[in-house]
Structure 1
Amino acid sequence: MQAINDFILAAAGQPWVLLLVFACCLIDGFFPPVPSESVVVGLAAVAATADVPNALVLMLAAAAGAFAGDNIAYLIGRATGTSRWAWMRNHRMQRAFLWAGGELRKRPASLIMVARFVPIGRVAVNLTAGATNYPHARFVGLTVLSAALWSGYSVGIGLFFGQWFEDNHLLGATIAIICAVLLGIAVDIVLSRLRGSSPARLRPDAPGQAAPPADG
Structure 2
Amino acid sequence: MDAITQWVLDAAASIWVFPAVALLTVADAFLVVVPSETIVVALGSLSASSGSPHMVALIVVAAVSAMIGDSLTFALGRRLGAPLLARVRSPRVQSVFEWARIALERRAALVIFIARYIPFGRVAVNLVAGATGFAYRRFLPLSALACTAWAVYNVALGAAFGAWLGDYPVVAVAVSIVVAIAVGLLIDAIRVRRERRRAVE
- 2:133 alignment partner AA: N
1:198: how far off?
2.3
> Which amino acid counterpart does residue 76 of structure 1 have in structure 2?
L
Shift of the alpha carbon at 1:196? 1.5
- In the other structure, the counterpart of 2:114 is 114
Q: CA deviation at 1:86?
A: 10
Partner deviation per Cα, 1:3-55 (whole Å, 9 max, x = no partner): 01000101101121011111111111122110000100001111111100001
Query: Are the equivalent residues in 1 in contact too, given 2:74–2:130 (CA < 8 A)?
Result: yes
Change (3 A) 1:50 1:88: farther
Q: Percent identity?
A: 35
Q: Distance in 2 between matches of 1:57 and 1:78?
A: 31
The one-letter amino acid paired with 2:37 is E
Tell me which amino acid in the other structure corresponds to 1:159.
A
Name the counterpart of 1:4: 4
C-alpha distance in structure 1 between counterparts of 2:86 and 2:125, whole Å: 18
Residue by residue, what CA displacement relative to the aligned partner does 1:114-165 show, whole Å, maximum 9, x if unpaired? 1001101100101010110100110001000000000000000000011222
CA deviation digits over 1:34-78, x for unaligned, max 9?
000010000111111110000100000100111001111101111
CA distance in 2, matches of 1:132, 1:86: 13
TM-score (norm 2): 0.94
- Greater shift, 22-31 or 33-42, is seen at 22-31
Residue 43 of structure 1: aligned partner? 43
8 A Cα contact 1:70 1:143, kept in partner: yes
Query: Counterparts of 1:27-66 in structure 2 under 5 Å?
Result: 27-66=27-66
The alignment of Structure 1 onto Structure 2 pairs a total of residues equal to 201
Shift in Å at residue 105 of structure 1?
0.8
Moved more, 158-167 or 87-96: 87-96
Structure 1 distance, partners of 2:87, 2:6, is 39
**Structure with greater helix percent:** 2
Q: Give the AA of the match of 2:188.
A: D
> TM-score, normalising length from structure 1?
0.88
Task: Give the distance between the partners of 1:15 and 1:192, measured in 2 at CA.
Answer: 40
Q: Which amino acid aligns with 1:193?
A: R
Unmatched 5+ stretches in structure 1:
204-216
